[in-house]
Amino acid sequence: MADAVISIRGLRKAYGDFEAVRGIDLDVERGEVFAFLGPNGAGKTTTVEILEGYRKRSGGEVSVLGEDPQHAGREWRERVGSVLQSCRLDPYLTVRESLALFAGYYSRPRPVEEVIALVGLEDKVDARAGGLSGGQQRRLDVGMALIGDPELLFLDEPTTGFDPSARRAAWDVIAGLRDLGVTVFLTTHYMDEAQRLADRLAIISRGEVVARGTPEDLGDRESRPATISYRGSEGEVRVRTTTPTRTLHELTGRALEDGVDLEGLEVTRPSLEDIYLELTSEAAE
Amino acid sequence: MTALTLVAHQFRFDQKVFWRNPASVFFTVMFPVILLLIFATVFGDETVDVNGGIETTTYYVPAIITLSVISATMQTLAMSLVIAREDGRLKRGRGTPMPSWVFIAGRIGNSIVVALIMMALIATLGRVFYGVDIPWDRLPAIVVTLVIGAAAFCCLGIALTAAIPSQDAAAPIVNAMLLPLYFLSGVFIPSDQLPSGVIHFADAFPVRHFFEAFFNAYVPATGGGAGVEWGHLAIVAGWGLAGLLLAARYFRWTPRGG
């Protein structure tokens, strides 16, 4: 792929006897928001930390912005921003100071005021990080990752533990990054988060990718059995079918011949959440 | 940006963080002042049989400066680095283009500046309240001694972080090492009151040697020479070098807990 920002082939990572990542292939294209979705302990953080250059891999090939993160230097770090899963910011620095501190680490930083607006902390500019809510701290953390004007941003579980309004605020910030042209690699164990933010996603379970695609067609949603339900004379009828068009035609044809109405007729596809739970539990067996 | 600009940038923010943190201001700045006031009040009228007999207050000014320097360097660094490590801030910083050593250099600069400020503060209090002369003619020797000692105890503080598993363990471990050494080295109890066996034991550790070097630079009664005790300073520097090697080998940037 010509414009792959991240390219992974056969990635493996073992900790002693335990294989946390067992042969992953992935490509992330420039400008997209890619979600890496999976339950806790699936290998998400291990993978993202290999991509960020924090961990060494046990096997496979990895290219991030054209370089092997394991050997990448300062120039490469100028182009990459990372938000770690758990990092407490310095409680004694204000929002503006925290951003100014990190701005000094980069050779071409984005203006501090601009980043404050990007992460929606205009009202908290002179508040110390220690006094911010969890959601605000995480947005400041995202701002500190954006201050160097990166091409690629890693977000490791950016909204874990947030209340709904804080999640929504974080989502707005992440959705806004797409307009800046920043490529985003996001890990999450929230289905709705991936569905809401990602252009494409991969589901990881026990160190392996078990499904990939856009949120709409993920896990071959189209080819999974649909359920046709209606109320017949003997009560609720549910038909599982992989060919809903044909089955529906037969059902309605017969009903018309018999002169009966199929009350409450409904065709439903499994939701992304149904598929996710099915896929991650299949792999767990 | 030159390396020096980067260190100055980091140092500026480390200073803000130091002075805004109530724990560091209390233990590093207020605590030595309180100790000086207590010792001077309790033992003020006595004399110490050191260097031909000096007033107790003259003894305690360099003693408390010694403690302040070790507190500003070894103690402050060990605690703040462990906290930053366990909070994930050291790891976070490593993901930026900033060279890792700049984070450490900024903090070392912060420690040495705080040590110099504490020396000025304690010396001034000693002069104003207790009439302890500030030996201006020996200032070069005093500054050389302080900077060598501060650098060595910085290295020891960084090395010590490797032995501290969590934020909660930082203060107990640092105090368990330093408090007994302050007593045994004559910082709290004048050395003429300590059995010679205790002093011999304390001679095995850097606190005693740094105290001797600083004391002899500060108290003119010793007479002769520029006041730099190269013998004691060499031992202090040796400890610092050992700390540096241990730190280079065992220092970690990523959280140990959780």
Is the minimum CB–CB distance between B250 and chain A shorter than 8 Å?
A: no
Q: Which residue of chain B has the CA closest to A76?
A: B97
Q: What is the pLDDT of residues A234-256, one digit of tens each?
A: 788 888 888 888 998 998 998 89
**Is the pLDDT higher at A272 or at A96?**
A96
Whether the per-residue pLDDT at A284 is higher than 80: the answer is: no
Is the minimum CB–CB distance between A52 and chain B shorter than 8 Å?
A: yes
Task: Tell me the one-letter amino acid at A216.
Answer: E
Angle in degrees, CA A112, A117, A122, rounded to 5: 95
User: What ipTM goes with this model?
Assistant: 0.90
> Of all helices (H) and strands (E), which one includes residue B55?
strand B54-55
Q: What is the pLDDT of residues A95-123, one digit of tens each?
A: 999 999 999 999 999 999 999 999 999 99
Mean pLDDT of A189-213: 91
Q: What confidence score (pLDDT) does residue A217 get?
A: 73
Q: Which chain B residues are Cβ-neighbours of A146 within 8 angstroms?
A: none
Q: Which residue of chain A has the CA closest to B22?
A: A92
Q: What confidence score (pLDDT) does residue B223 get?
A: 54
**A-B contacts at Cβ under 8 angstroms:** 66
Question: How far does A74 lie from chain B, in Å, by closest CA?
Answer: 5
Is the minimum CB–CB distance between A71 and chain B shorter than 8 Å?
A: no
Q: What confidence score (pLDDT) does residue A282 get?
A: 61
Q: What's the CA dihedral at B200, B202, B207, B208 to 10 degrees? A: -30
Averaged confidence pLDDT in chain A: 90
Among A175-184, B43-52, B170-179, which stretch is predicted with the lowest mean pLDDT? Answer: B43-52
CA distances for B121 relative to A39, B107, B133, angstroms? 56, 21, 14
Q: What confidence score (pLDDT) does residue B61 get?
A: 96
Mean pLDDT of A73-94: 94
Is the minimum CB–CB distance between A84 and chain B shorter than 8 Å?
A: yes
Q: Which chain B residues are Cβ-neighbours of A100 within 8 angstroms?
A: 13
Q: Which of A155, A281, A157 is nearest to A210 (CA)?
A: A281
The predicted model scores a pTM of 0.87
Compare CB distances from A87 to B92, B97, B98 and report the shortest one's residue: B92
Q: How far apart are CA B156 and CA B151, in angstroms?
A: 9
CA distances for B186 relative to B49, B59, B156, B192, angstroms? 12, 10, 20, 8
Q: What confidence score (pLDDT) does residue B227 get?
A: 77
Tell me the residue ranges of DSSP E strands in chain A.
4-15, 18-29, 33-37, 59-64, 80-83, 152-156, 183-188, 200-205, 208-213, 226-232, 235-241, 263-268
Instruction: Report percent pLDDT > 70 for chain B.
Output: 97
Q: What is the pLDDT of residues A173-198, one digit of tens each?
A: 999 998 889 999 999 998 889 988 99
Where does the pLDDT of residue A278 fall: very low under 50, low under 70, confident under 90, or very high at 90 and above? confident
Q: What confidence score (pLDDT) does residue A1 get?
A: 46
Q: What confidence score (pLDDT) does residue B226 get?
A: 62
Mean pLDDT of B19-45: 93
**Is the pLDDT higher at B51 or at B241?**
B241
